[in-house]
Amino acid sequence: MDPEAVHALVQELFVADGPVDRPVRIASLVAFQGDHRTLTERDLPRIAAALIEVEAEPRPAHPTLTDPLTDPLTDALARTLHSLGTVDLDDVRAVRLGPEAFARHLAVAAPDADEGLNAADARTHTRLREAVCAHILRFLVLRSRFVAAAEDAAFEERYAQDIVAAHDHLTIYGIDLAHSPDSWPLDAAYLSLQTETDGGGGPGAPVEQAPAEQALAGRERVLLWGVAGAGKTTLVQRLAVSVARGDLPAPLEGLRGRVPFVLPVRRFRHDSNHDRHDRNNDNGNPNTNTNRSNPNTNHNSHSNPNTNTNHNSSHNAFPEPDAFLSAVRYPHAAAQPPGWAERVLSDGRGLLLVDGVDEAPEDERERLREALRELPTRYPGNVWLVTSRPSAVRQNWLASERFTELKLSPLSREGVTAFIRRWHAAARQDITDRADLARLSGYEETLLDAVRITRDLGRLATNPLMCGLLCALHRDRRGYLPRGRKALYDAALSMLLERRDRERAMQPPDGIDLPQEPKIRLLQKLAHWMLVNGRSEMDRATAVETLARHLPAIPHAARQGGPEEIYRHLLNRTGLLREPTPGSVDFVHRTFQDYLSARAVVERHDFDFLIDHAHLDDWEEVIRMSVALARPDECGYLLEGLLAARKDARPIHARHRKLLAASCLEHATELDPEVRSRVHRYTRDLVRPTSLEAARALGWIGPIVLEMLPDPSGVSDEEAHRLAVTATSIADDRAIDYLVRLRDRTSWAVRAQLAGAWRRYDTDRYADEIIAHLDARELDFPVSDLGELRALRRLGGRPCVQVAGALTPEQLTEGLVAERLTELWLAYDLGEGPDLGWLAAFPHLHTLRLSHRNAEVTGVPEGVQVIVAGP
């Protein structure tokens, strides 16, 4: 079918001019009647024959027909077209009916059109009538802005309802294994996170904090960073649902009336041969080409993740507007009015939520970046939120296009407490037994104490995903928690795969009863396929085919059902898989996919496979988890491979591999001391950063880097500042021991860096060992929560204080030392038109700095200079 040819034929049926500012009767628009006719009724068979030629499937040749104009099917369609002149519908009503209902109207208007047709031609005529009606309605929409607006409004109402239905729920892991559902309403489950920005970039610049759902207030373009599990996708859901409902907090009133487009990057890729598994080349046997005793086994079949895969090189990294809905597999994408998305963006009414840049292959990210440069320029006035893991994009990745870079903060101590209390409150909703309620309350308090006191748990409880797992496991194990990431994920898999249905006292509804280990192995096959193919989502058919290839090697599963039945069982009963759109499947969270991928790789002994791809940032977590799962000799082989020189390797990739080796050390349970020593030796020079960007980049390595940083006592102030940046990027209290050696520096940049890092560490210890010793001259001391405010008061207060957390006037009046305060920086959103008369309690205050969002304030005492920071 040639759409342009069909459109040209349909255009012939209607007059070229006509009013477009009100509904118009279709009968008055046809070109074969009225005062402005350009066709005669004799032209209709010609148009009908041409439409049949491009729209209908080939038909057997009629032995007596030589002229298509005498074909009975042509005559039938011509009669249908002629009925357009008798239909009592205006263009708006016709478009709202849709192709099927409009075709029925034409059938009623031309009841004798099918006379003389055989059964096959009658069916063809019915199909043709509906297809031609679809093109007619498209023409009417494109012809009239009025019709388009009416049709757009009707579609947008339905689309908004579908957005709410699709995104107004969250999974809260293990809320109640015995009774409750796995999914909870977004409003009940959502915990507001905090975003932060450096507010200007220089040392000591204010770290502005705001609730994450308000990150777009006053901003049209935002790039939001967040580690795995930090809540990026949840924030996208929250914004989409809030805008679709029109239920917006005051700071986000600027989003009212916008149309949300939820655009997960992982959906943009459509490999033309993505269902093929040739690259695995194991004939369904997961143990082919493996040698458990030899860590030097080389699997050439895995050396290139693109082997035997035909990627569509012409596919754009970002879809065009009219393909937005089909690209993300919105089930009613075909119902959108022609040109609708283009009109939304052209009018500046869109909210584009581009989720997961890190889930695009590294070699496609530059094309994605070009699209994110070009589209906002082509369609100004729309609001863009782009999310990514920090490791996937460098700093200032979209700065040239005026994207503000924000970062999702790790959960503060107060945030962790709020999450744990919210989780247990949700769990209590369906419990009626008093003894169970008492036990749950006891679990809540012991978990809060454990997270505060136990360092390993405190390091894990930094984001909603990990906090949810900790809550679920703590309850599931009656107050016992595993320590370390590997133990946590093993326990989580046990909870979700083995104990979930058993605790619910359920008989398998599908007749399949699989133990934990076969489930894990089958899930590993799906995760491994995604890893090898560079995907975080796969077609349902591909998942079923993958299971079919591996089921013969897992007889316990093969005996209970075919691949389709096993797939449905894993989807419905494990809690780890979901179908985000019809026909596709992914893991409920990327971290589970990474962990199961690592298990598969270690079992297959594919360490060369890992080493070959270690320069790719989306493999980092898989490699770290593989080290945690591997045996000592395997760990040594993998780490040595990361350190080894590689032919034609780019210097940046070689550095990346060495730093990755260093980050793996803390995950190795047992490791040859010689290997550990070599990792230290190879990375020693890499931990003396020569730029601030390099210093920040070292933060992802983790606490192990603290063992390799040089003694700061003999370095210049400039290098000391870079070392401070690196050490304060490591959110572990062990960093305090290193920072103590920098606290007496007179350099303002070093002092500002140390002061600004307070919120990352234990409040009182950092106050006593760092804050209390910093020279206060020209230094703003940050306060992000009530605990820090009280600690600073205990130290006697400071003359210049920067408040980054949303504290009340009463708390600030009580907590700040009035006799000492001279400068105050309120680096957070104060709300609508705040009255700052309470500042009269500070007699020596002479300077007040405010965020640009708080330009309109009242009640500032006389003599206090107000300075508003730029956006």
> Tens digits of per-residue pLDDT, 514-562?
888 999 999 999 999 999 988 888 999 999 999 999 999 998 889 888 9
Beta strand 847-850 with 865-868 is parallel
The pLDDT-based confidence of 618 (bands split at 50, 70, 90) is confident
The pLDDT-based confidence of 259 (bands split at 50, 70, 90) is very high
- Collect all residues with Cβ–Cβ distance below 8 Å to 153 and sequence separation of at least 6: none
User: What was the pLDDT predicted at 313?
Assistant: 33
Whether 179 has a pLDDT exceeding 80, the answer reads no
What does the pLDDT look like over 115-163, one tens digit per residue? Answer: 888 888 899 999 989 889 988 888 888 778 777 777 888 899 999 999 9
Q: Which two tokens stand for residue 663?
A: 């980050």
Q: 362: which strand partners? A: none
Measured between alpha carbons, how far apart are the two ends of the chain, in Å? 52
The pLDDT-based confidence of 415 (bands split at 50, 70, 90) is confident
The pLDDT-based confidence of 760 (bands split at 50, 70, 90) is confident
The pLDDT-based confidence of 277 (bands split at 50, 70, 90) is very low
Smallest CA-to-CA distance from 589 within 241, 327, 231 is with 231
Q: Which two tokens stand for residue 810?
A: 């009463």
The rounded distance, in Å, linking the Cα atoms of 437 and 429 is 10
Q: What's the chain's average pLDDT?
A: 82
Show the beta-strand stretches assigned E in 151-193: 169-171, 183-185
pLDDT > 90 fraction of the chain, expressed in percent and rounded: 35
Q: Which two tokens stand for residue 500?
A: 């979930």
Fold of 166-270+324-408: Rossmann fold (3.40.50)
Q: Of the spans 277-281, 525-529, 676-680, which averages the highest pLDDT? A: 525-529
The pLDDT-based confidence of 320 (bands split at 50, 70, 90) is very high
Q: Return the higher-pLDDT residue of 843 and 365.
A: 843
Least-confidence region, from 381-390, 604-613, 650-659, 765-774 = 650-659
The pLDDT-based confidence of 269 (bands split at 50, 70, 90) is low
Smallest CA-to-CA distance from 608 within 565, 572, 637, 651 is with 637
The rounded distance, in Å, linking the Cα atoms of 496 and 250 is 40
What does the pLDDT look like over 3-12, one tens digit per residue? Answer: 778 888 888 8
Which residues in 638-653 are b (16+ Cβ under 10 Å) and which e?
bbbbbbeeeeeeeeee
Smallest CA-to-CA distance from 385 within 534, 200, 237 is with 237
Mean pLDDT in residue range 800-827: 91
The pLDDT-based confidence of 669 (bands split at 50, 70, 90) is confident
Smallest CA-to-CA distance from 531 within 659, 460, 668, 625 is with 625
Mean pLDDT in residue range 218-224: 90
Smallest CA-to-CA distance from 128 within 245, 66, 67, 47 is with 47
Query: 566 and 547 in contact (C-beta within 8 Å)?
Result: yes
Q: Return the higher-pLDDT residue of 486 and 793.
A: 793
pLDDT > 70 fraction of the chain, expressed in percent and rounded: 85
User: What was the pLDDT predicted at 208?
Assistant: 64
The pLDDT-based confidence of 416 (bands split at 50, 70, 90) is confident
What does the pLDDT look like over 385-408, one tens digit per residue? Answer: 999 987 677 778 898 888 988 888
Q: Return the higher-pLDDT residue of 730 and 748.
A: 748
The rounded distance, in Å, linking the Cα atoms of 840 and 250 is 28
The rounded distance, in Å, linking the Cα atoms of 694 and 722 is 9
- Collect all residues with Cβ–Cβ distance below 8 Å to 525 and sequence separation of at least 6: 286, 546, 547, 550, 600
The rounded distance, in Å, linking the Cα atoms of 716 and 724 is 12
Least-confidence region, from 150-164, 304-318, 599-613 = 304-318
Whether 338 has a pLDDT exceeding 60, the answer reads yes
Q: Is the pTM of this model over 0.75?
A: no
Least-confidence region, from 312-316, 343-347, 356-360, 728-732 = 312-316
Whether 759 has a pLDDT exceeding 50, the answer reads yes
Radius of gyration of the chain (CA): 32
User: What was the pLDDT predicted at 172?
Assistant: 64
The pLDDT-based confidence of 23 (bands split at 50, 70, 90) is confident
Q: Where are the domains of the chain?
A: 3-143, 166-270+324-408, 413-483, 780-871
The pLDDT-based confidence of 200 (bands split at 50, 70, 90) is very low
Whether 204 has a pLDDT exceeding 70, the answer reads no
Mean pLDDT in residue range 789-817: 93
User: What was the pLDDT predicted at 307?
Assistant: 35
Query: 356 and 593 in contact (C-beta within 8 Å)?
Result: no
The pLDDT-based confidence of 271 (bands split at 50, 70, 90) is very low
Whether 294 has a pLDDT exceeding 50, the answer reads no
User: What was the pLDDT predicted at 308?
Assistant: 35
User: What was the pLDDT predicted at 766?
Assistant: 95
User: What was the pLDDT predicted at 283?
Assistant: 36
Q: Return the higher-pLDDT residue of 595 and 60.
A: 595
Smallest CA-to-CA distance from 423 within 479, 454, 467 is with 467
Mean pLDDT in residue range 675-689: 83
The pLDDT-based confidence of 475 (bands split at 50, 70, 90) is confident
Query: 396 and 405 in contact (C-beta within 8 Å)?
Result: yes
Mean pLDDT in residue range 338-351: 92
Mean pLDDT in residue range 839-860: 87
Mean pLDDT in residue range 100-111: 90
Query: 792 and 798 in contact (C-beta within 8 Å)?
Result: yes
User: What was the pLDDT predicted at 452?
Assistant: 79
Whether 295 has a pLDDT exceeding 50, the answer reads no
